Amino acid sequence: MNESRSYRRGRGCGCTFTLVVLVVGIAMALFGSNVGIGLSVRVPFTESNLTWAGSVGSKDLAIDTLPDYVEQKVGDNSNLINKSITLTIWPAEGTSVIVLGKQEGAPIIGVHLDAERK
């Protein structure tokens, strides 16, 4: 039997998320800044949205730079799907949220970009 097949190891976002917080997050936290992004789309014929949002930078600003309609959804369990990840390394924090469910104040289609500095 010939075992010459090459297997590709999958690289999930888990490793990337750690590296982003470690490198970008700490650098931004040292300057007291943070950046947040988010994408949201309404699910047709429902009042639910599918939202992905994330932020990286200073611990104090991690939740504040997420879109307003998902700030309270970090770690919440009242939606159909809620995957919230936070990672804190020294003065930096990274947050990633994927939510499928009703979100008060969410747009039909929305892109969010926010940068803050203390």
Q: Name the H helices within the chain.
A: 13-20, 26-30, 68-71
Classify residue 65: in a domain, yes or no: yes
11 occurs within a structural domain: no
Identify whether 111 is part of a domain.
Answer: yes
The pTM score is 0.80
| CA–CA dist 80, 102 (Å, integer) | 9
The answer as to whether 3 is a domain residue is no
Q: Is 9 part of any domain?
A: no
Q: Which residue has better confidence, 10 or 71?
A: 71
- For residue 80, give the DSSP letter: S
Quick check: is 4 in a domain?
no
109-117 vs 81-89, strand pairing mode: unpaired
Question: How many domains does the structure of the chain reveal?
Answer: 1
5, part of any domain: no
Q: Could you tell me the residue range of the domain that residue 51 belongs to?
A: 33-117
Rounded to the nearest angstrom, the gap between the alpha carbon of residue 102 and the centroid of all alpha carbons in its chain is 18
Tell me: the pLDDT tens digits for 68-99?
999 888 888 888 899 998 999 989 999 999 99
* Residue 80 belongs to some domain of the structure: yes
pLDDT score for 93:
92
